[in-house]
Amino acid sequence: MERVRFAPSPTGPLHIGGLRTALFNYLYAKKHKGVFILRVEDTDQNRKVEGSEEYIHKSLEWCNIQPDEDPFKGGEYGPYRQNERKEIYAQYIKALLSNGKAYYAFDSNDELAIARTEAERLKGAFKYSADNRKEFRNSLSLSTDESEALIEKGDYVVRLKVEPNQDVVTCDLVRGVVRVNSNELEDKILMKKDGMPTYHFANVVDDHLMKITTVIRGEEWLPSLPIHQLLYDAFGWEEPQFMHLPLILNPSGKGKLSKRDGDKNGYPVFPMAWNESSGYKENGFIPEAHINYIAQLGWSLGEKEILSLKEMENTFDVKAIQKGGARFDYEKAKWVNQQHLAALSEGELINRYNPYFEELKEAVGEQLNAAVSLIKERLVLLSDIEKEADCFINDPVDYDAKSLKRIAKIDISKVGSLLKEGITDNEIEKLKDFMQKSGEENDIGLGAFMQVLRVAVVGSLSGPNLIPLLTVIGKDVTLRRLERLISVQS
């Protein structure tokens, strides 16, 4: 049974990268008929941001990718918040201290700062390791009595004892075998002075205890993998599989996608509103489209890019995950939204987004479905509904200047009066035949009729399919709008 987890730290809202990690975990679980877990990694209380855990839950709910086990639902392997698992970590750190894979370190922050400055002066990076650990104050360098007295005071951290010159071999499903020499690693802190575990320690202990089979996370965690591997080895545990997802780059491809870039270029980076920043939801994206686009950040879907969540669950394939950075493209995100909106039936669209259609319903009554079918084809975002529905509801107030210029050569009063006659005498469905016939008789092109009518009805040369639009608004409204254009323009 595959078990995967999404393990965010509640240090702010979920951004595009976090949502992609959650989604890929979810898809992997579904594909393998496994379990998707949400674990909240809140060991760093100083970085905790009020409301972010709820935000993460709500965003996953909006995207319809809900966990099978999480802090609210619970599950067999809880608690699912790390800050509620302190006793567990205390017990496991003891195991490493007693099997010699970890040790106590008593150095003060000042002592470490001095060592760091000195290393930098010599143009090196400071690293607490087998190389220099004897020069520091720890249970490997001090006498047993000295150490015990300091341990008694409780003023210590616990560090991983990394053996020098070992070949540390890890394996990533996307990148294959990754090797490093342990001399490049440092004796990472596993337990802080306040008794809280660090990310590395809590993460490995929990992945093991929660029986995680595959760890799927962002590439920024790849450098931590050797340390995690050493921790699995230190416990004598079998490690899970690992899959590190490629970075998400900003649209220019230079650098990581950031909130700053989003603010500057006018696209959201959060699924839902967070403080003053609006999210995809508020910007008129529908959730199935949003995750369909997010899925494309690092996963090449192949020919068919527009997929439902179910289809993605069935086709998700580790082999199709790319190594290189995935470039974010807001225009593409909008295009995907447009495709999903067009694929909804009129009924679904109206039911799901009822408030957007209230005014339209009042204006067109039973013709609502017909109107929505014409509007739907033209939507990129839900927020376009108001603009697109306007011509079904209101007579144009102003005429678009560019459109007027384009019809300037047409004799509006002549074309207009012919149109008035045609509309009065014919069914709207037959209007095109009339225009053709009358056009031949009066040497007026079909285009001229259509353009005048469109500007009269919509206020510009854009808008939905004209004859069906006229059918919805009816003859009276059409004639009224036509008369107004004639009176204003001729």
Q: How far is the CB of 128 from ligand GLU (least distance, A)?
A: 22
464 and 405 Cβ atoms separated by less than 8 Å: no
* Residues near 217 by beta carbon (within 8 Å), at least 6 away in sequence: 7, 21, 243, 244, 245
Amino acid at site 144: T
Q: Pairing between strand 176-181 and 167-172?
A: antiparallel
Which is closer to ligand GLU, CB of 22 or CB of 185?
A: 22
Among 30, 188, 217, 290, binds ligand GLU (CB under 6 A): 217
Which is closer to ligand GLU, CB of 139 or CB of 203?
A: 203
H or E stretch at 483: helix 466-489
Q: What is the DSSP string of 96-143?
A: HHHTTSEEEE---HHHHHHHHHHHHHTT-----STTTGGGS-BTTTS-
Q: How far is the CB of 9 from ligand GLU (least distance, A)?
A: 4
- Residue 349 CB neighbour total at 10 angstroms: 24
Q: How far is the CB of 159 from ligand GLU (least distance, A)?
A: 20
Q: How far is the CB of 101 from ligand GLU (least distance, A)?
A: 20
Q: How far is the CB of 160 from ligand GLU (least distance, A)?
A: 16
Burial of 154 from C-beta contacts in 10 A (0-12 / 13-18 / 19+): exposed
Stretch of 5-13, 245-253, 366-374, 389-397 lying at the interface with ligand GLU (CB under 6 A):
5-13
Interface with ligand GLU, residue 463, by CB under 6 A: no
Interface with ligand GLU, residue 41, by CB under 6 A: yes
249 and 325 Cβ atoms separated by less than 8 Å: yes
Stretch of 7-15, 55-63, 272-280, 392-400 lying at the interface with ligand GLU (CB under 6 A):
7-15
Q: What angle do CA 430, 435, 436 make, to 5 degrees?
A: 100
Among 3, 4, 9, 281, binds ligand GLU (CB under 6 A): 9
**CA of 31: how far to CAs of 5, 316, 397, in Å?**
14, 7, 54
Which is closer to ligand GLU, CB of 212 or CB of 309?
A: 212
* Residues near 396 by beta carbon (within 8 Å), at least 6 away in sequence: 456, 457, 458, 459, 460, 481
Of residues 377-396, those binding ligand GLU (CB under 6 A): none
Spatial separation of the C-alpha atoms in residues 341 and 318, rounded to whole Å: 28
Interface with ligand GLU, residue 59, by CB under 6 A: no
Which is closer to ligand GLU, CB of 208 or CB of 378?
A: 208
Q: How far is the CB of 199 from ligand GLU (least distance, A)?
A: 6
Among 3, 4, 8, 404, binds ligand GLU (CB under 6 A): 8
Among 3, 4, 7, 30, binds ligand GLU (CB under 6 A): 7
Please give the positions annotated as active site: 259
Of residues 148-207, those binding ligand GLU (CB under 6 A): 203
Q: Pairing between strand 248-249 and 326-327?
A: parallel
Interface with ligand GLU, residue 221, by CB under 6 A: yes
Which is closer to ligand GLU, CB of 8 or CB of 416?
A: 8
Which is closer to ligand GLU, CB of 67 or CB of 422?
A: 67
What interhelical angle do 466-489 and 446-458 show, nearest 10?
80
Residues that bind ligand GLU (CB under 6 A): 7-9, 41, 203, 217, 221
